[in-house]
Amino acid sequence: MSISQSIFKAYDIRGIVKQDLTPENVKLIGLAIGSESIAKGERSVVVGRDGRLSGVDLMQALKAGLQESGCHIVDIGMVPTPLVYFATHTKASTSGVMITGSHNPPEYNGFKIMIAGETLSGERIQALYRRIQIGDFSSGHGTSTKVDIEQDYIECITRDVKLDKPLHIVVDAGNGVAGNIAPKLFEQLGAKVTKLFCLVDGNFPNHHPDPSKLHNLEDLIKEVKSTGADMGFAFDGDGDRLGLIDNKGNVIWADRQMILYSRDILKRNQGAKIVFDVKCSSLLPKDIVQHGGEAIMSRTGHSFIKAKLKETGAALGGEMSGHVFFKERWYGFDDALYTGSRLLEILSKTNKTCAQIFDDLPNSINTPEINIHFEKQGQQFDAMNKLAKNIDFPNAKITTIDGVRVDYDNGWGLVRPSNTTPCLVLRFEANDEKILNEIQEKFKVWLKSNDIATVTDF
């Protein structure tokens, strides 16, 4: 088979359309997913797609493979990723495939996969590749049924989430698929919504739909300030990551949001477990423990966080990048629409502004994600392997569950390989600017001593 193993990544399948993802290859992927689902006892598969230009053709090829394997398809059309997850929890099927390139450039697309209730990652994704290589496919004649799930989803959230007062929000969908549903959902909750780039356009003509990058939030910040809105929400391309701007135009990264969500949940669930990824602030686990919870660190990646929630029975999970997973009152999958709804609910119960709420939470000096780029996919893993063999940070706590995290009493630094793009991801935090600079300098020396010299970004 001509399909490249390189597109079978840590927590999804992702590649360049017409190069890696040809109709023939995508049909093989569908055959493999369908065969694996049937092997796990699930003969139907929910399928959805985001708003990328290649989505229609990839959907057709994927469905052909799924049906040839003997799977019956529940086609829910163009929807945010959380609606596929929602369908696997509320409809007849526990398997699902979301066709999405997430935050990658427009020429990319990919597949997030759930089989018999489990989101695939790591070895389970590699097993699909091996199934394709040896042609280990089931066969049959599956059917396809179109189902509109949007209103069921909105009604499920509006039954659960209640606002004590109306709030004004700006919604920036970045021309991603969340623009189809987010304004409707928040208006039905009782919010006033100002729309920004909510028309779905796979060319992403205004800015890239990645709320983890500050430059993609500039338009939203301006709109929040000019309209006097209570806050602004930014969505990624497939609606499973949320960016937040407070009423003063400040960016509130997801690990700071997680402190608020954790406190809210722990009021009702003392002793609850809360999962966070290695990129999150050290203030988050401290605050969780101080408010009666148990803090659990995880690898970065939506499938890893979901697996950790399932393993530990945690009530909440979250990543620095904006994936937040509510298990309390919801289903435990990453859902930016539901996360935004819960945030509105929390803020509607106070007379404080969004900025005042977050100003009252513990804070530190920290950086956003810093990327060191490489020319080719895979080079980031080679660099990380070299760094991991030469760790040199005396008197620090070293964590290696995902890259290398170096914790001191007064700050920390992290370097880890991105699983989706050829880069190393770094982040730093400290009690003050001086300590932050000192930790960054230690990392620069370490990187340079291992021949990774592209460190001018920080």
* Active site positions, annotated: 102
Q: State the Cα–Cα distance between residues 5 and 278, nearest whole angstrom.
A: 27
In this structure, the strands spanning 411-417 and 95-99 are unpaired
> How far apart, in Å, do the first and last CA atoms of the chain sit?
43
Full strand arrangement of the beta sheet holding 242-246: 192-196, 168-172, 231-235, 242-246, 251-252
Here the tokens at position 350 are 């106070």
Q: State the Cα–Cα distance between residues 351 and 353, nearest whole angstrom.
A: 7
Q: What share of the chain is helix, strand, coil (3-state, %, to 5)?
A: 40, 25, 40
Task: Give strand pairing partners of 320.
Answer: none
Q: Which of 341, 272, 333, 336 is nearest to 305 (CA)?
A: 333
Q: State the Cα–Cα distance between residues 415 and 413, nearest whole angstrom.
A: 7
Q: Name the helix (H) or strand (E) containing 435.
A: helix 433-449
Find the helix packing angle between 81-90 and 150-160, rounded to 10°.
80
Q: Which contacts of 212-220 are long-range, i.e. CB under 8 A and separated by 24 or more positions?
A: 212/103, 212/236, 212/241, 212/243, 212/320, 212/321, 212/322, 212/368, 212/369, 213/368, 213/369, 214/251, 214/368, 216/174, 216/243, 217/172, 217/243, 217/245, 217/251, 219/172, 220/170, 220/172, 220/196, 220/245
**SS3 at position 415:** strand
CA distances from 182 to 239, 310, 340, 452 (A): 9, 27, 9, 42
Q: Which of 372, 378, 375 is nearest to 443 (CA)?
A: 372
